[in-house]
Amino acid sequence: MRHGIVDRRAFLRFAAGTAAAAVTAGQRRARAAEPKRGGTLRLLQIEPAVGFNPALEGTNWPETQRMVYNGLTDYGPTGELVPGLARSWTVSDSADTFTFRLTPGVTFHDGKECTADDVRFTYESMADAKVASPLNVYVANLKAVETPDKHTVTLRFDGPNVLMMPGISAVGILPKHVWAGTDFRKNPALAMPVGTGPFKLKEWQRSSHLVFEANRGYFRKGKPYVDQVVFKVVSDAATGIEAFKNGELDAVLSQGMPGGLPYAQVRQLVDAKPPNIVFQEFVQNFNQNLWMNCAAPPFDNPKVRRAIAHAINKELIVKALLQGFGRVQDSYIGNLPALRWAHDPTIKSEFNPVKANQLLDEAGFPRKGGTRFPVTILATEGFRVKLSEALKAMLAPIGIEASIKSYTWATYIARIRQDRDTAGCIWSVFLSRQVDPAYVMDYLSGRNIKTGGANYAQWNNPRATELIENARATAVQEKRKGMYLEAQRIAFEETAVIPLYSSVGVDMLHRRVEGLQSIDGLTGTLTSLEGVWLNA
């Protein structure tokens, strides 16, 4: 119950002891007897999906990708990897060879069998420079794919691939016969994807809606339970909430994140405790960070960066701006399910404006007429503007005069990532999909400093880079842990980045929706809908 924020487990404990509390997921499962079949499940989607092919979309729109595709692995009730298309797998000790045994008799929506060849094709496509897949960072060192028989596939990498299992094994498998030899970016299957998944795409109007129908030939017999699933894009938050409240939409998943419904409106709905709606809170797998350009003044001075960190009241941000949908995070590797083993709980940053002022004096930025120097906070319309206003107010007492510049997302990220036009700037970028420490630490590696690379802050610490790169190339988790603890400590002491909070999400469902599990560490959008049924 740290910072007065209820995490999901604490919430479950609390709820179990309180008669009037919302029915918890556990009790719901107990009450749920035999799943009923049929009906249409209607979900709110805020940002319209534009594509399905995982090799092209990468990690965009996982919620709709998972409707039509299956990965080799799947996620279990606690977010652990469980069999998907692969009924079993082995990983070599050196983490460079992965062998998957496929479930026989699985067919694509067009009736053709899904075999080792399809798996091979999918992974080779992701690694193929010609395809330019955003997923190729996960399989960059792919050396060979072997298919000794129809249902066995072995992926061999040049050295360890620590991201293979947590990062990409659950990504959808493409049908080779549909995509092979075609221009991926012009193939008609872009508009009508063919997968092995529990649902088939039936109707798709861009920017408006997607309608899926149950795949009656699905390999998990008896599933899915519902006949149809509708994703309805409603961009206006107020309308979306009204449509959900009055039952036109059955569920709104994964709220409590930027780009979703505004925090205040979600909080209002949760606190109103409507009797017909269930709220399931869970720990999202992403966090928010503040970045500064470490390569240019004034932020090339670590003392200045630390001063900024001391000036920020994270608890206030979580309480007032996030309305409680977050937990303060101090160490760069957060206390998230997939990262916990490398998380350093002893790293604590302190809100201390006095110390911040001292550091700035020491750094050689005296107050001149009350102000030390100006900075620019970059923002996008919506939540980031609010966050920036809070930051501006927090920087004023330490003599830093901040101006806020707001852009559309494309322009914002171009300025940060492509143009590196960020001298004297502070900005926030979410690190989504925290599947492994290797993934998040890449953002601090000197190897990714070049224009367009992931190290936006251009923080260049040779020791940290060495540790990060070595850890990525090490198979044994215990060894990696030591490296990450040290790299994390350096990043903290140098204030390479200021972690703000990790996100707490909430899935909101009408009571008639059964069998939807909210899983810590997976955004609710990754929750499979094949087990959901309607108690109409």
Partner 1 sequence: MSLWRYVVGRLAQSAVLVLLVITLAFFVMKLAPGDPVLYLYGAQHVTPETLDGIRRQWGLDRPLWQQFGRYVGNLLRGDLGFSHVNQQPVGAMLVRFIPNTLLLMVPSLILAAAIGILLGIEASRRLNTWRDYVIGAVSMMGFSTPPFWLGIIFIVVFASTLRWLPTQGMYTLGAGTQGLAHVLDVATHMVMPLGVLVWWYLAAFARLTRASMLEESRKPYLVTARMKGLPEGQVVYWHALRNAARPVLTILGLHLGTMFAGAVMTEVVFAWPGMGRLTFNAIIQHDYPVVLGVFIVIGTAVVLANLVVDLLYVVLDPRIRYG
Chain positions contacting partner 1, by CB under 8 A: 40, 42, 48, 50-51, 57-60, 129-130, 132-134, 136-137, 140, 185-186, 190-191, 203, 205-209, 211, 228, 230, 232-236, 238-240, 242-243, 245-246, 248, 407-415, 417-419, 429-430, 432-433, 439, 442-443, 450-454
The closest alpha carbon to 466, from 494, 490, 435, belongs to 490
Closest approach, Cβ 534 to partner 1, in A, equals: 12
Closest approach, Cβ 70 to partner 1, in A, equals: 22
CA–chain centroid gap for 267, Å, is 21
CA–chain centroid gap for 93, Å, is 28
Please say which residue, 85 or 226, places its beta carbon nearer to partner 1: 226
Please say which residue, 130 or 368, places its beta carbon nearer to partner 1: 130
Please say which residue, 106 or 534, places its beta carbon nearer to partner 1: 534
Dihedral angle at the C-alpha atoms of 195, 197, 203, 205, nearest 10 degrees? -80
Closest approach, Cβ 231 to partner 1, in A, equals: 9
Please say which residue, 43 or 283, places its beta carbon nearer to partner 1: 43
User: Which residue shows structure tokens 């966090």?
Assistant: 287
User: Helix/strand/coil (H, E, C) string of 373-439?
Assistant: EEEEEEEECCHHHHHHHHHHHHHHHHCEEEEEEEECHHHHHHHHHHCCCCCCEEEEEEECCCCCHHH
CB of 260 closer than 8 Å to CB of 45: no
Closest approach, Cβ 188 to partner 1, in A, equals: 10
User: Which residue shows structure tokens 């198979």?
Assistant: 475
Closest approach, Cβ 347 to partner 1, in A, equals: 23
Please say which residue, 14 or 409, places its beta carbon nearer to partner 1: 409
Give the pair of three-digit tokens for residue 88: 């079993």
Please say which residue, 188 or 366, places its beta carbon nearer to partner 1: 188
Closest approach, Cβ 511 to partner 1, in A, equals: 18
Angle at 233 between CA 232 and CA 235, to 5 degrees: 145
Closest approach, Cβ 224 to partner 1, in A, equals: 14
Q: Rounded to whole angstroms, what are the CA distances from 49 to 247, 252, 507, 510?
A: 23, 16, 19, 24
Please say which residue, 228 or 535, places its beta carbon nearer to partner 1: 228
Please say which residue, 51 or 424, places its beta carbon nearer to partner 1: 51
Closest approach, Cβ 58 to partner 1, in A, equals: 5
Closest approach, Cβ 382 to partner 1, in A, equals: 12
Closest approach, Cβ 29 to partner 1, in A, equals: 26
3-state secondary structure of 208: coil
CA–chain centroid gap for 165, Å, is 16
Give the pair of three-digit tokens for residue 480: 């990696």
Rounded to whole angstroms, the Cα distance separating 287 from 443 reads 13
Angle at 424 between CA 423 and CA 427, to 5 degrees: 95
Rounded to whole angstroms, the Cα distance separating 429 from 415 reads 12
- Looking from the CA of 455 toward its CB, the CA atoms found within 13 Å total 20
CA–chain centroid gap for 153, Å, is 28
Closest approach, Cβ 135 to partner 1, in A, equals: 9
Count of CB atoms within 10 A of residue 90's CB? Answer: 10
Closest approach, Cβ 274 to partner 1, in A, equals: 12
Please say which residue, 62 or 515, places its beta carbon nearer to partner 1: 62
Please say which residue, 395 or 500, places its beta carbon nearer to partner 1: 500
User: Helix/strand/coil (H, E, C) string of 480-508?
Assistant: HHHHHHHHHHHHHHCCCCEEEEEEEEEEE
Please say which residue, 184 or 365, places its beta carbon nearer to partner 1: 184
Please say which residue, 210 or 304, places its beta carbon nearer to partner 1: 210
User: Helix/strand/coil (H, E, C) string of 129-192?
Assistant: CCCCCHHHHCCCCEEEEEEEECCEEEEEECCCCCCHHHHHCCCCCCCHHHHCCCCCCCCHHHCC
CB of 426 closer than 8 Å to CB of 296: no
The amino acid that residue 311 corresponds to is A
Closest approach, Cβ 357 to partner 1, in A, equals: 35
Please say which residue, 42 or 327, places its beta carbon nearer to partner 1: 42
Q: Where are the alpha helices (DSSP H) in 246-344?
A: 263-272, 302-311, 314-316
